Chains A and B, each alone.
Chain A
Amino acid sequence: MENPGSHGWLWWIPLLPLAGSAVAGALHLCTLRARKTDPAARGPAALAGLVACAALFGSLLLSLRGFQALRELEPESARTLLSTVWHWITVPLPAGASFQADLGLLLDPLSSTMTLVVTGVGFLIHVYSLGYMKGDPGYAKFFAFLNLFVFAMLMLVLSSSLLGVFIGWEGVGLCSYLLIGFWYEKGWPAEAGQKAFVMNRVGDACFLIGTFLLVQAFGTLDVPTIVANFPVDGSRQWQLTLAGLFLFGGCCGKSAQFPLFTWLPDAMAGPTPVSALIHAATMVTSGIYLVARLNPLYASSPGLLALIAGVGAATALIGGSTALVQRDIKKVLAYSTVSQLGYMFLGLGTGAFAAAIFHLVTHAFFKALLFLGAGSVIHGMHEEQDVHRMGGLRRHMPRTFVTFVAGAAALSGLPLLSGFFSKDEILANAFAGGGLYYVFWGVGLATAALTAFYTWRLVSLTFFGPERFDHHHVHPHESPAVMTVPLMVLALLSVAGGVLGLPPVFGVTHALADWLEPVIEPGRKILERHGHAGHLSHAAEWALLGLGSAVALFFAHRGYRAYAGGPERDAALERGRPALAGFLGGAWRFDALYDAAVVRPLRLLAAAVAVVVDQFTIDGLVNGSASAARGAGAALRRTASGYVGGYALWMGVGALLISVVWLWS
Chain B
Amino acid sequence: MHYELVLLTFLPLAGALVVLCTPRSAGSLQRGVAFLTTLVVAVLGVRLFVGFESDLPAGRILFEAPWFTLPSAAAAPTQVSFRLGLDGLSLLMVALTAVLMPVVLLSTWGHVEKRVKEFMVWMLVMETGMLGTFLALDLVLFYFFWEISLIPLYFLIGIWGGERRLYATIKFFLFTLAGSLVMMIAIIAILWRQGTSDVVALIDQLHRLPLDTQLWYFAAFALAFGIKVPLVPFHTWLPDAHTEAPTSGSVVLAGVLLKMGTYGLLRYCIHMLPGAAIAAAPVMMAIGAVGIVYGALLAWAQTDLKRLIACSSVSHLGYVVLGLFALTPTGLSGGMLQMVNHGVSTGLLFLLVGMIYERRHSRELDAFGGIATVMPVFALMWVVTALSSVGLPGLNGFPGEYLILLGAFQSSKLWAVVGLTGVIFGAVYLLMATRRVLFGAVTHAENRGLADLNAREVVLLLPLIALVFWIGFSPNTFLSKAQPALAQVQQRVEEVRRAGFAQAPPDTPPKAPAGGAR
CB of A663 within 8 Å of the partner chain: yes
With A645-B155, A664-B70 as known contacts, state yes or no: A89 contacts B399, CB within 8 Å.
Answer: yes
Docked-complex contact B435 and A209, CB < 8 angstroms? no
Contact A167 B394 (CB under 8 A): yes
B177's closest neighbor in chain A, by CB? A651
Tell whether A576 is near chain B: CB-to-CB under 8 Å.
no
Distance to closest chain A CB from B333 (angstroms):
5
Residues of B within 8 A of A194 (CB): 431-432, 435
Q: Is B110 an interface residue (CB 8 A)?
A: no
Q: Which of A74-107 contact B (CB under 8 A)?
A: 87-94, 99
Task: Name the one of B151, B302, B329, B427 contacting A93, with C-beta atoms under 8 angstroms.
Answer: B329
- For window 102-119 of chain B, which residues contact chain A by CB distance below 8 Å? none
For residue B465, CB closer than 8 A to chain A, the reply is no
Chain-A contact segment, one of B260-268, B416-424, B500-508: B416-424
Determine the distance from Cα of A29 to Cα of B394 in the docked complex, in whole angstroms. 22
Does A606 touch B at the CB level, under 8 Å? yes
What residues of B have a CB within 8 angstroms of the CB of A215 in the complex? 406
Among candidates A32, A212, A626, A660, residue contacting B376 with C-beta atoms closer than 8 Å: A32
Using Cβ atoms and an 8 Å threshold, which residues of chain A touch B373? 185
B191 sits at the interface (CB 8 A): yes
Residues of B within 8 A of A177 (CB): 431
Which of B68, B236, B387, B394 lies in contact with A618, CB distance below 8 A?
B236
A656 touches B144 (CB 8 A): yes
A660 — which chain B residues lie within 8 A by C-beta? 68, 70
Given A629-B174, A644-B170, answer yes or no on A655-B330 (Cβ-Cβ < 8 Å).
Answer: no
Query: Which one of B148, B192, B439, B473 has the highest number of Cβ atoms from chain A below 10 Å of its Cβ?
Result: B439
Task: Establish whether residues A208 and B420, one from each chain, have CB atoms under 8 Å apart when the complex forms.
Answer: yes
Measured in the bound complex, the distance between the Cα atoms of B480 and A186 in whole Å is 47
Closest Cβ of chain B: how far from A140's Cβ, in Å? 12
B154: chain A residues at CB < 8 Å are 644-645, 647-648
Given contact pairs A89-B403, A609-B298, A170 touches B393 in the complex (Cβ within 8 A): yes
Q: Which residues of B contact A602 (CB under 8 A)?
A: 297
Which residues 78-105 of B sit at the A interface, judged by CB distance below 8 A?
Answer: none
CB–CB A212/B423 < 8 A: no
Nearest-CB distance from A71 to chain B (Å)? 33
**Residues of A contacting B187 with CB < 8 Å?**
659
Judged by a CB distance under 8 angstroms, whether A225 is at the interface is no
Rounded to whole Å, the gap between the CB of A114 and the closest CB of chain B is: 19
Cα A659 to Cα B423 with chains together (Å): 44
Q: Mark B180-211, 1 if CB is under 8 A from A, else 0.
A: 11001001100110000000000000000000
Min CB distance, B469 to chain A, in Å? 12
* Min distance, Cβ A506 to any Cβ of chain B, angstroms: 44
A88's partner among B71, B476, B483 (CB-CB below 8 A) is B476
Is B349 engaged at the interface, CB distance under 8 Å to the other chain?
A: no
Q: Chain B residues near A611: list those with CB within 8 A.
A: 301
Expressed in whole angstroms, the Cα–Cα distance for A648 and B149 within the complex equals: 11
B439 touches A181 (CB 8 A): yes
Mask of A190-230 contacts with B, CB within 8 angstroms, 1/0: 11001001100110110011011001100000000000000
Q: Give the interface size bracket for B toward A.
A: 35 or more
A283 to B393 CA separation, bound complex (whole angstroms): 17
**Contacting residues, chain B, for A87 (C-beta < 8 A):** 476
Asked if A212 and B480 make an inter-chain contact with CB atoms under 8 angstroms apart, the answer reads: no
Q: What chain A residues lie within 8 Å of B387 (beta carbons)?
A: 174
A649 interface residue (CB < 8 Å to B) = yes
- In the complex, whether B280 has a CB less than 8 A from a CB of chain A is no
Name the residue in B175, B180, B406 with the highest tally of chain A Cβ atoms < 10 Å from its Cβ: B406
For B413-450 the 0/1 string (1 means CB < 8 A from A) is: 00011001101100110011001001111000000000
The answer, yes or no, to whether A610 is at the interface (CB within 8 Å) is yes
Nearest Cβ on chain A to B25's Cβ, whole angstroms: 23
Contact A174 B392 (CB under 8 A): yes
**Interchain CB contact (< 8 A) of A184 among B144, B298, B372, B473:** B372
Q: Is B147 touching A655 in the complex (CB atoms < 8 A)?
A: yes
Interface residues of B (CB under 8 A from A): 68, 70-71, 140, 143-144, 147-148, 150-151, 154-155, 158-159, 166, 169-171, 173-175, 177, 180-181, 184, 187-188, 191-192, 233, 236-237, 294, 297-298, 300-302, 329-330, 333, 370, 372-373, 376-377, 387, 392-394, 399, 402-403, 405-406, 409-410, 416-417, 420-421, 423-424, 427-428, 431-432, 435, 438-441, 473-476, 479-480, 483, 487, 490-491, 494
Top 9 nearest A-B pairs (CB, nearest first) are A610-B301, A190-B439, A648-B154, A184-B439, A652-B147, A606-B297, A606-B300, A212-B409, A606-B301
